């Protein structure tokens, strides 16, 4: 994993640093600002995205589901910006209406099953914004709190296909409504069209806390019976959304011009440099290649044929080509791009490790691509942009059942039962990047992309092709798969045509601030942590506890500035507060408390950005690590005097987990040595197994291999944080 993401970072940093000496003269100051962003504004937005609702149950249906599909969204925003020189900070609130999300079914192999849905007709955010201003163009990072009025429904129905009452409700439900809170991170660009009108585009990645809905009978009684605690007899739902949207705002007040010299009082070190007009035109067609790495997470759910789920997550390599067109207008840029990539293999897993028969499940996407809009801010030969659009992948999903008794002569041999499906999956992609023109036609850059694909079913069939679930409908006798990827990659493009400047070039000027050098500092913030737990059907249950946490730590790094561009490397170490816990097996006589905590975590990341004097906007990506302590403690789950007493069975594992991290941020130099900023980081760690063992350390599953008798954990975090650094030297 470490080599996967380090390769992309090293490729980009080495190429840019090696080409810096060949760059044209450094143009370090754009024309004086002609627009003030300071003031209140109000406006509207419209877009679309992907919504993923993960449902877990305590083994009433011994099933889980992750329905994922696109949706439309539209609403209004209101906020306030404060501009200081090239920097901007602000606060914004928005309220949006959303179309319906996709639903699914729990328990497709049972005589009774449950249709589950989640909808958020109204949602909103309250976010801080921090950005870099170039005249009438703004690029920003954003993060804060998110809320949604979520209506979760679960309706049980008769699932016997031959029954006259097939599909009829039984009266058992699992419903809950109300506001859910979560965290949101994102980035965007805006352009001032006239004195008061502003148009822009942004993407937002939102993770909400999970919530329980009690399973109840038609009479309102506990659906798990009087002997089970109602607190664990629930359907859990955890919602995540990714949105790309366009926005139009009206800014109140007069467009009073502001000085770009935010720190004139600091003395001659920050004296305003002479104005320089743009020296490079980004308009035109281009073609190129890319290479990098990332993390792929494949979530598998089954209808209780194996009463199991899995979420194999690991690193992979990717490389391919892109083609597109940019149109530059002043300091703004819009464009369209398509890419096609080949990918390394994704990690597989096993469903049903606690059964006499189990299934190996894998997903691979040898070829994938995107069709994306790009919108960015330009200054001379440097560009920083956000991007979003549609993604596709030629996904081959396989499931091969095998004999799972290690004492049997046929252990590991296929049984003939399979769950295979191939074809193109569509989804949504969001991201950000930076590019630098090395000369008239060659452009180098780096970007990150976060992609969520729709879920898909593969029918479970016998060797003769018939339904493996017998009297249950084939539409519910499936293995479901939902794929998510995070990629960081370097890119090289060739732009066709003459590099006609958008306006005449002027003589180079000295930089007002030099970002090159080592730095050290501290950070503090908060975020959301989602810990997904799977088991092999010992408890026939899954859980995805999700909640906010606090984080704080230190960073050390080195920046190298070349003209308007910057590349660097950074490492950080942070301490984190506790993550949320949950329960596996709430409908069993025994259940297990499961938890994951990462008291210490860190990253090793490349950074690439655009510099305008004392302001920097950057994207970042690389490897992440966390010292994760995974615990599982089984307890008596009967409503009796012994309720809650540990049984001695555990599933514990500790140690460092590696993963991948992507993000973006902005920084401002307050003086020659002190720098403040804000950034967000999205991190996906590899999954890990903890063996389920008796008090004496023996394998709990006895007749099944210990390697499959496990509780699996997969951790994802989103963090928004403030940072202050001290740069050595002048």
DSSP assignments along 296-352, one per residue: EEEEEE-SSSS--EE--EEEEEEEEEEEEEEEEETTEEEEEEEEEEEEPPPP-EEE-
For the stretch 451-471, pLDDT in tens is 999 999 999 999 999 999 888
- Under a CB-based contact definition with an 8 Å cutoff, are residues 566 and 624 in contact? no
Please, what is the average pLDDT of the chain?
89
More confident site: 14 or 491: 491
d(CA 648, CA 644): 12
* pLDDT at residue 302 in the model: 83
* pLDDT at residue 19 in the model: 38
The count of other CB atoms within 10 Å of the CB of residue 560 is: 16
DSSP code at position 645: -
For the stretch 36-70, pLDDT in tens is 999 999 999 999 999 999 998 877 888 899 999 99
d(CA 425, CA 467): 24
User: Which whole number is the average pLDDT over 353-368?
Assistant: 91
Alpha helix stretches (DSSP H) within 61-190 = none
Percent of the chain with pLDDT over 90: 74
Task: Find all residues with CB under 8 Å of 14, minimum gap 6, and list them.
Answer: none
Give the pLDDT band of residue 369 (cuts 50, 70, 90). very high
Residue 423 has pLDDT above 60, yes or no: yes
DSSP code at position 222: B
* pLDDT at residue 564 in the model: 92
For the whole prediction, is pTM greater than 0.85? yes
* pLDDT at residue 616 in the model: 96
For the stretch 227-238, pLDDT in tens is 888 888 899 999
Give the pLDDT band of residue 541 (cuts 50, 70, 90). confident
* pLDDT at residue 279 in the model: 59
* pLDDT at residue 463 in the model: 96
User: Which whole number is the average pLDDT over 185-200?
Assistant: 94
d(CA 236, CA 106): 12
* pLDDT at residue 343 in the model: 98
For the stretch 68-95, pLDDT in tens is 999 999 999 999 999 999 999 999 999 9
For the stretch 271-292, pLDDT in tens is 333 333 445 899 999 999 999 9
Domain range for 258: 2-727
For the stretch 318-348, pLDDT in tens is 999 999 999 999 999 999 999 999 999 999 9
Give the pLDDT band of residue 512 (cuts 50, 70, 90). low
Q: How many domains does the chain have?
A: 1
Percent of the chain with pLDDT over 70: 90
* pLDDT at residue 267 in the model: 30
Burial group, residue 634, by CB count within 10 angstroms (0-12, 13-18, 19+): buried
Task: Find all residues with CB under 8 Å of 450, minimum gap 6, and list them.
Answer: 205, 242, 429, 430, 431, 484, 485, 486, 662, 682
Residue 156 has pLDDT above 50, yes or no: yes
Give the pLDDT band of residue 16 (cuts 50, 70, 90). very low
* pLDDT at residue 702 in the model: 81
User: Which whole number is the average pLDDT over 634-651?
Assistant: 91
């Amino acid at each position: 994993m470490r080599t996967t993401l380090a390769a992309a970072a090293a490729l980009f940093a080495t190429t840019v640093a090696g080409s810096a000496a060949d760059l044209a003269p450094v143009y370090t100051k754009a024309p004086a600002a002609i627009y003030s962003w300071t003031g209140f504004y109000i406006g509207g937005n419209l877009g679309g995205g992907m919504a993923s609702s993960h449902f877990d149950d305590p083994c009433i249906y011994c099933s889980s589901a992750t329905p994922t599909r696109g949706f439309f969204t539209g609403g209004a925003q209101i906020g306030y910006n404060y501009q200081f020189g090239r920097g901007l900070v602000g606060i914004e609130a928005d309220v949006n209406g959303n179309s319906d999300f996709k639903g699914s079914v729990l328990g497709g192999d049972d005589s009774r099953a449950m249709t589950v849905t989640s909808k958020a007709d109204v949602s909103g955010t309250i976010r801080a914004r921090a950005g870099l201003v170039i005249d009438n163009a703004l690029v920003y990072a954003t993060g804060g709190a998110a809320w949604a009025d979520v209506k979760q429904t679960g309706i049980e129905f008769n699932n016997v296909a031959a029954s006259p009452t097939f599909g009829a409700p039984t009266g058992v439900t699992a419903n809950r409504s109300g506001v859910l809170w979560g965290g949101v991170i994102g980035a965007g660009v805006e352009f001032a069209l006239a004195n008061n009108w502003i148009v822009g585009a942004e993407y937002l990645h939102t993770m909400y806390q999970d919530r329980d809905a009690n399973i109840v009978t038609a009479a309102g009684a506990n659906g798990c019976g009087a002997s089970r605690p109602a607190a664990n007899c629930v359907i859990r739902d955890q919602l995540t959304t990714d949105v790309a949207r366009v926005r139009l705002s009206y800014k109140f007040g007069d467009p009073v011009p502001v000085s770009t010299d935010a720190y004139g009082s600091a003395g001659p070190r920050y004296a305003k440099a002479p104005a320089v007009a743009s020296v490079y035109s980004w308009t035109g067609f281009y073609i190129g290649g890319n290479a990098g790495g990332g993390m792929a997470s494949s979530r598998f759910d089954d209808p209780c044929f194996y009463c199991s789920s899995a979420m194999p997550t690991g690193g992979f390599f990717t490389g391919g080509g892109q083609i597109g067109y940019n149109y530059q207008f002043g300091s703004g840029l819009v464009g369209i791009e398509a890419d096609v990539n080949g990918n390394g293999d994704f990690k597989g897993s096993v469903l049903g490790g606690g059964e006499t028969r189990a299934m190996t499940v894998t997903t691979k996407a040898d070829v994938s691509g995107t069709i994306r809009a790009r919108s960015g801010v330009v200054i001379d030969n440097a560009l920083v942009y956000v991007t979003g659009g549609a993604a596709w992948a030629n996904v081959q999903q396989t499931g091969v059942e095998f004999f799972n008794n290690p004492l049997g002569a046929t252990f590991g041999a296929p049984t003939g039962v399979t769950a295979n499906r191939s074809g193109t999956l569509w989804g949504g992609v969001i991201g950000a990047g930076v590019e630098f023109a090395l000369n008239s036609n060659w452009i180098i850059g780096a970007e990150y992309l976060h992609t969520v694909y729709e879920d898909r079913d593969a029918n479970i069939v016998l060797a003769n092709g018939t339904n493996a679930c017998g009297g249950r409908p084939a539409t519910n006798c499936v293995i479901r798969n939902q794929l998510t990827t995070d990629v960081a990659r370097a890119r090289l493009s060739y732009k066709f045509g003459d590099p006609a400047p958008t306006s005449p070039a002027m003589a180079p000027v000295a930089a007002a601030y030099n970002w090159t050098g080592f730095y050290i500092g501290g950070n503090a913030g908060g975020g959301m942590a989602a810990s997904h737990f799977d088991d092999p059907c010992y408890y026939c249950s899954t859980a995805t506890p999700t909640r906010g946490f606090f984080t704080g730590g230190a960073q050390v790094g080195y920046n190298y500035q070349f003209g308007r561009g910057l590349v660097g490397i950074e490492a950080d170490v942070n301490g984190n507060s506790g993550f949320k816990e949950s329960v596996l097996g709430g409908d069993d006589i025994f259940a297990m408390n499961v938890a994951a905590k990462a008291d210490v975590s860190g990253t090793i990341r490349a950074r690439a950005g655009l510099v305008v004097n004392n302001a920097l906007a950057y994207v970042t990506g690389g490897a992440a690590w966390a010292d994760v302590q995974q615990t599982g403690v089984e307890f008596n789950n009967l409503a009796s005097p012994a309720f809650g007493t540990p049984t001695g069975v555990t599933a514990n594992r500790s140690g460092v987990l590696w993963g991948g991290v992507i993000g973006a941020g902005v920084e401002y130099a307050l003086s020659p040595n002190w720098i403040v900023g804000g950034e967000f980081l999205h991190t996906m760690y590899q999954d890990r197994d903890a063996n389920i063992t008796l008090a004496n350390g023996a394998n709990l599953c006895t007749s099944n291999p210990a390697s499959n008798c496990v509780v699996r954990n997969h951790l994802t975090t989103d963090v928004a944080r403030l940072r202050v650094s001290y740069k050595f030297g002048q």
